[in-house]
Chain A
Amino acid sequence: MQPTTLVILLLILMAIAYQFGMRRSVAVAGGPKNLRSLHSRPNYYGYYTAIWAGLPALIVVGLWAAMQGNFIIDLVIADLPPDVRSLPPERLGLWLNDLKNLAEGNIVSGEVSPALRAGADHYLSLQQTAAAAMAVVVLVIAVAGVSFAMKLISPKLRARNRVEGVVKVLLIFCSSIAIVTTLGIVLSVLFEAIRFFNMVPFMEFFFGTEWSPQTAIRSDQVGSSGAFGMIPLFAGTMLISLIAMTVAVPIGLMSAIYLSEYASSRMRAYAKPALEVLAGIPTVVYGFFAALTVAPFVRNVGESMGLEVSSESALAAGLVMGIMIIPFVSSLSDDVINAVPQSMRDASYGVGATRSETITRVIFPAALPGIVGGILLAVSRAIGETMIVVMAAGLSANLTANPLESVTTVTVQIVTLLVGDQEFDSAKTLAAFALGLMLFVVTLILNVIALHVVRKYREQYE
């Protein structure tokens, strides 16, 4: 039986258990007229029974499904002919992959040996046995749960409190997923990064100025042994982010100021959502726009001025990234500017300042911490942005400050290192995780500072 059908069966069983529990409580109370003698309303007894039917069984299904795979593989390995068992671990892994593919009816690499065929048959039969055993065990647990709950039901049973307790535990479980996610990110990236630093020295990674992750696969091969200095990547990321911010900050900030201080409410009602459309466009669309429209345009303009422009110039990627971030800067600054108390504006007008003087001398300084926070958030966005640079920036790690040349970024390298087939013990693949760790740490620091600043600023005027 498939796990999905089993789960559906369990859900049906829970619905039946609900009915059973409800009826039972009514019977225990002595008929529908005596419901007052029950502690909770009958439906809570129903829920209580359903929980007993479903929860333990579902937990068992989950644990079983998680354990079954490895357990079966161990059994299969134990039963293999000795010459296969004594293979080195990587070869054995490949062999087992073939076995699984054969069992699932997929294409097998190489010819099918009798040992492989026998192993696959064994694997299939074990899987069937395991599935049947799981179905039986789980259904027995569910039915046992129902009968246990039915025994417990009595007018004194505080069914509602118990059901609510279970629900509350579920709620707590759900809200801790956010924490688990963060932990998962940190741990998964950290582990692989530590493995990387075992192969490549710490100092070389942080202070090396050479990046060429192609490592020779065999020791006798000609070619580079790989250089993992992240300085060029970091510089490239910073260059593109800088270009993006020089586009996004003035335009975003000025539109926010205009919209909140000058525009009529009608104009605000139309222009604000229109600008926010930019935030809803998927980044892959910006990437396409950058690679096919903006990059050739930048190149043509540059060449008509006699400059040498790379077709994957940092300028094109940065410009488009800037456009993407405009709504981000403008809506954050808009919030912040609107939070400046009206009394400060009135005071400024009262001493005869013009609107622009009020804005530049009173509102802007007052809103500055919040605006800086918003800009920091935008910078963290720009650093972590992937698709635009993957599609429009280059792959070669040049250490340059010239925006017309092609540079590469941290995110581009992560994507190029990890897309496609990869083995998990080469420095090349692990380097992506080290870069990911860097990216995570840098954006996290920026975010923490920014969120802190914005929060402090809000409190100031509340």
Chain B
Amino acid sequence: MNNPDTNKPRTIDLVNQSLARRYARERRFRRLGLAAITAGLLFVSFLFISIFAKGYTAFWQTEIQLRITFDEQMIDPSGERDPEVLGFADYNILVKTALMERFPDVRKRGDRRDLFGLVSTGASLQLREIVMADPAVIGTTQTLWLTADDDIDMLVKGHIDRERDESERRVNDKVIAWVDALEADGALGSSFNINFFSHGDSRDPEQAGIAGAVMGSFYTLIVTLLLSFPIGVASAVYLEEFAPKNKWTDIIEVNINNLAAVPSIVFGLLGLAVFINFFELPRSAPIVGGLVLTLMTLPTIIIASRAALKSVPPSIREAALGVGASKMQATTHHVVPLALPGMLTGTIIGMAQALGESAPLLMIGMVAFIVDIPQGAFDPSTVLPVQIYLWADSPERAFVERTSAAILVLLAFLLTMNLLAVILRKKFERRW
């Protein structure tokens, strides 16, 4: 070959030389990608495991077995069984008497207070319910399981470290000795925590439940659904099927896309300024929450519904128009029914978003401490995510457990809704 410059290396050699380095870089890059995904998945699993590990114990509640004497003198001295008298009787005394009978050696006042603290303050309500349901128990002695105090519950579940110094834990050595004595007698048990699902909020962790928050969430979501689904579908139908392509339509489109990205707390400010200050709707009520969440979920529903309408092929419309249907008839009789599964999927996803939302609801006063379970959309109430926020702020150890349990319930609801959306999509999705 008449190559004048034999010293110059050939390209193929250069390539071969660098190949090892390039392949190494390739492998590194690939591993980096894999690492990123693994990190993401690890975060997911770590989050779930940590919340589950903290929360699953809340579904059981420690109970203490006591022999309660329903003393007629204490409850109903007149013997008339008047419900009014029965309702106002002091059942706490019965619990205290039973505890003193069980531990007769406890005489000092401070110790007695600790002893009475073994049982929840809700125990007297439990007794009251029993008597109100069946006054015949008065005068008898019954062996009953009463709800234990939250500190005892934590101790039994092992969340309080017995090895620590007495001054550093919430229960003292005497209480631990009593609890151990009860356990040795088999008078310490645990049962499914019904209170958690049937009670409203409470300052006592063992009495606190999510029923009020769940009902609040329910009413809020009903309001949201009733408003956002029809409005969302109607706007999507107009924008996709009827709107002329002009500036005005463009503005609406850009507007909807932007609204979808506005921080949720700004919707809360809107709700506070407009619905509460201007229209004077009640604070803390699901109706206002529903209105705010409607405005927030509308963009999601509109965007999903438009996508569903877009996927219906034009031939359907043309066929309908061809046999003499009006534009409105073609839309309502043919296009909308075909797009409905897609619209419903979008709505369910929007509802799931609304169910998990809490920031705007803080603004309109749905953070109040509300014990009563709301009976309608105008009653003051809170919602499940806000309840979680409130409990997360509480100092008692037992509330950590309950917060995690409430999160598990919330996630279960969200999972069901998302599964429903997936099933709906799988079942009714049509490829044209």
Report A's interface with B, CB cutoff 8 A. 66, 69, 160, 164, 167-168, 170-172, 174-179, 181-182, 184-185, 188-189, 191-192, 250-255, 257-259, 261-263, 271, 274-275, 277-278, 280-289, 291-293, 323, 326-327, 330, 352, 354-357, 359-360, 377, 380-381, 383-387, 390-391, 411, 414-415, 418-419, 424, 432-433, 436, 439-440, 443-444, 447-448, 451
Known: A178-B298, A280-B418. A257 touches B262 (CB 8 A): no
CB distance from B172 to the nearest CB of A (A): 26
Partner of B238, one of A174, A330, A359, A385: A174
Q: Do A167 and B266 touch across chains, with their CB atoms under 8 A apart?
A: no
B85 within 8 A of A: no
Partner of B258, one of A164, A391, A447: A447
Beta-carbon contacts under 8 Å, B262-317 to A: 262-270, 272-274, 277-280, 295, 298-299, 302
Q: Do A188 and B273 touch across chains, with their CB atoms under 8 A apart?
A: yes
Partner of A384, one of B35, B262, B298: B262
Residues of chain B within 8 A (CB-CB) of A448 are: 254, 258
Q: Do A178 and B44 touch across chains, with their CB atoms under 8 A apart?
A: no
B367 within 8 A of A: yes
Residues of chain B within 8 A (CB-CB) of A391 are: 389, 392-393
CB < 8 Å A-B pair total: 254
Q: Do B270 and A188 touch across chains, with their CB atoms under 8 A apart?
A: yes
Q: Do A254 and B32 touch across chains, with their CB atoms under 8 A apart?
A: yes
Q: Do B358 and A69 touch across chains, with their CB atoms under 8 A apart?
A: no
CB distance from A228 to the nearest CB of B (A): 17
Residues of chain B within 8 A (CB-CB) of A277 are: 44
Partner of B265, one of A191, A411, A447: A411
Question: In the complex, what distance in Å separates the CA atom of A448 from the CA atom of B277?
Answer: 30
CB distance from A293 to the nearest CB of B (A): 5
Question: In the complex, what distance in Å separates the CA atom of A155 from the CA atom of B44?
Answer: 66
Residues of chain B within 8 A (CB-CB) of A415 are: 265, 359, 362-363
Identify 12 new A-B residue pairs, CB closer than 8 A, beyond the known A192-B273, A292-B54: A160-B326, A168-B242, A181-B270, A184-B270, A188-B274, A251-B36, A254-B37, A287-B392, A352-B15, A356-B26, A411-B265, A448-B254
Most buried by A among B50, B234, B299: B234
Question: In the complex, what distance in Å separates the CA atom of A188 from the CA atom of B269?
Answer: 8
B235 within 8 A of A: yes
B171 within 8 A of A: no
- 9 A-B residue pairs with Cβ-Cβ distance under 8 Å, sorted by A, are A178-B302, A253-B36, A259-B37, A275-B40, A275-B44, A280-B418, A291-B392, A356-B26, A384-B263
Partner of A251, one of B39, B54, B242, B400: B39
B182 within 8 A of A: no
Q: Do B392 and A174 touch across chains, with their CB atoms under 8 A apart?
A: no
Residues of chain B within 8 A (CB-CB) of A387 are: 358-359, 385, 389
Report B's interface with A, CB cutoff 8 A. 15, 22-23, 25-26, 28-30, 32-37, 39-41, 43-44, 47, 50-51, 54, 230-231, 234-235, 237-239, 242-243, 251-252, 254-259, 261-270, 272-274, 277-280, 295, 298-299, 302, 326, 328, 352, 355-359, 362-363, 367, 385-386, 388-389, 392-393, 400, 403-404, 407, 410-411, 414, 418
Known: A171-B235, A354-B22. A178 touches B256 (CB 8 A): yes
Most buried by A among B15, B238, B269, B411: B269
Residues of chain A within 8 A (CB-CB) of B273 are: 188-189, 191-192, 433
Residues of chain A within 8 A (CB-CB) of B367 are: 419
Q: Do B262 and A440 touch across chains, with their CB atoms under 8 A apart?
A: yes
Q: Do A418 and B41 touch across chains, with their CB atoms under 8 A apart?
A: no
Q: Do B40 and A278 touch across chains, with their CB atoms under 8 A apart?
A: yes
Q: Do A254 and B36 touch across chains, with their CB atoms under 8 A apart?
A: yes
CB distance from A436 to the nearest CB of B (A): 4
Question: In the complex, what distance in Å separates the CA atom of A172 from the CA atom of B241?
Answer: 12
* Interface residue SS majority, chain B: helix
Residues of chain B within 8 A (CB-CB) of A66 are: 279
CB distance from A215 to the nearest CB of B (A): 20
Question: In the complex, what distance in Å separates the CA atom of A345 from the CA atom of B277?
Answer: 58
Most buried by A among B36, B280, B328, B356: B36
Question: In the complex, what distance in Å separates the CA atom of A210 from the CA atom of B108?
Answer: 55
Residues of chain A within 8 A (CB-CB) of B235 are: 171, 174-175, 177-178
Q: Do B362 and A377 touch across chains, with their CB atoms under 8 A apart?
A: no
Nearest A residue to B349, CB-CB? A280
CB distance from A270 to the nearest CB of B (A): 10
Partner of B266, one of A164, A185, A327, A377: A185
Q: Do A181 and B265 touch across chains, with their CB atoms under 8 A apart?
A: no
Residues of chain B within 8 A (CB-CB) of A411 are: 263, 265, 359
Known: A188-B273, A384-B263. A355 touches B302 (CB 8 A): no
Q: Do B36 and A255 touch across chains, with their CB atoms under 8 A apart?
A: yes
Partner of A436, one of B43, B259, B266, B358: B266
Q: Do A284 and B358 touch across chains, with their CB atoms under 8 A apart?
A: yes
Q: Do A385 and B252 touch across chains, with their CB atoms under 8 A apart?
A: no
Partner of B326, one of A164, A360, A386: A164
Residues of chain A within 8 A (CB-CB) of B252 are: 175-176, 178-179
Known: A356-B29, A414-B269, A432-B269. A282 touches B356 (CB 8 A): yes
Q: Do A285 and B411 touch across chains, with their CB atoms under 8 A apart?
A: yes
Q: Do A178 and B255 touch across chains, with their CB atoms under 8 A apart?
A: yes
Question: In the complex, what distance in Å separates the CA atom of A284 from the CA atom of B280?
Answer: 28
Known: A184-B270, A384-B264. A172 touches B280 (CB 8 A): no
Question: In the complex, what distance in Å separates the CA atom of A278 from the CA atom of B255?
Answer: 27
CB distance from B226 to the nearest CB of A (A): 13
Question: In the complex, what distance in Å separates the CA atom of A250 from the CA atom of B33?
Answer: 9
Question: In the complex, what distance in Å separates the CA atom of A377 from the CA atom of B37?
Answer: 21
Residues of chain B within 8 A (CB-CB) of A262 are: 30, 33-34
CB distance from B159 to the nearest CB of A (A): 13
Most buried by B among A280, A355, A385: A280
Q: Do A258 and B34 touch across chains, with their CB atoms under 8 A apart?
A: yes
Residues of chain B within 8 A (CB-CB) of A168 are: 238, 242, 328
Residues of chain B within 8 A (CB-CB) of A188 are: 269-270, 273-274, 278
Most buried by B among A182, A355, A380: A182
Residues of chain B within 8 A (CB-CB) of A263 are: 37
Q: Do B36 and A271 touch across chains, with their CB atoms under 8 A apart?
A: no
Q: Do A436 and B234 touch across chains, with their CB atoms under 8 A apart?
A: no
Known: A285-B407, A447-B258. A275 touches B267 (CB 8 A): no
Partner of B36, one of A160, A164, A250: A250
Known: A293-B50, A356-B26, A377-B261. A287 touches B389 (CB 8 A): yes
Q: Do B50 and A289 touch across chains, with their CB atoms under 8 A apart?
A: yes
Q: Do A254 and B359 touch across chains, with their CB atoms under 8 A apart?
A: no
Partner of B251, one of A179, A253, A330, A385: A179
CB distance from B296 to the nearest CB of A (A): 9
Question: In the complex, what distance in Å separates the CA atom of A281 from the CA atom of B410?
Answer: 9
Residues of chain B within 8 A (CB-CB) of A381 are: 261, 263
Partner of B356, one of A257, A258, A283, A377: A283
Nearest A residue to B356, CB-CB? A282
Q: Do A189 and B269 touch across chains, with their CB atoms under 8 A apart?
A: yes
Known: A171-B237, A280-B352. A418 touches B358 (CB 8 A): no
Q: Do B231 and A354 touch across chains, with their CB atoms under 8 A apart?
A: no
Q: Do A439 and B32 touch across chains, with their CB atoms under 8 A apart?
A: no
Residues of chain A within 8 A (CB-CB) of B33 are: 254-255, 257-258, 261-262
Most buried by A among B28, B47, B295, B298: B47
